Amino acid sequence: MLDKASKRSATLHRLLSNNRIPGRAKLLVWKAYVRPLLDYACEVWTCDSKMRSKLESVQTKAGVKTFKLNEKTKREAVRALMNATSLETRKDGFILRYLVKTDL
C-alpha cells in the first residue's frame, strides 16, 4: 500500500506544485485520492516505527509540495497546515470504530 500511495502522490506532483490552484483544493484532491490507500484496512495490520515513519513521510511530502515548504519542516507543522491528524491517530480512531461496530 505504501508503494501505491507513493506512486499516486507522485502523479499529483504537477497539481500540488501548481500555484494557481488554492492549497485547500489541492489537499482535498490528495485526501480523496491518496490518503485512503494509507488508511486501507489499517484496523487489522500492524507496523513498526520504521514503516510508520515511511507512511507519515508520504503525507508530509504532499504538504511540503502543496505549501512550498522547506523539506526540513517539522511533520507537526506540516500536518497543522494541512489540517490533518497523524496517520497513527487516524488508525486508532478506525480501530475504536471497528470495535464499537463489532461490539467487542
Residue type, 43: E
User: How many CB atoms within 10 Å of residue 59?
Assistant: 25
If you compute the radius of gyration of the chain from its CA atoms, what whole number of angstroms results?
14
Angle, CA 22 vertex, CA 68 and CA 57 arms, to 5°: 40
Buried b (16+ CB within 10 A) or exposed e, 66-78: bbeeeeeeeeeeb
How much is the pTM?
Answer: 0.83
The structural domains of the chain, with segments of one domain joined by +, span: 2-102
Q: What tens-digit pLDDT sequence spans the chain (104 residues)?
A: 889 999 999 999 999 999 999 999 999 999 999 999 999 988 888 888 899 899 999 999 999 999 999 999 999 999 999 999 999 999 999 999 999 988 76
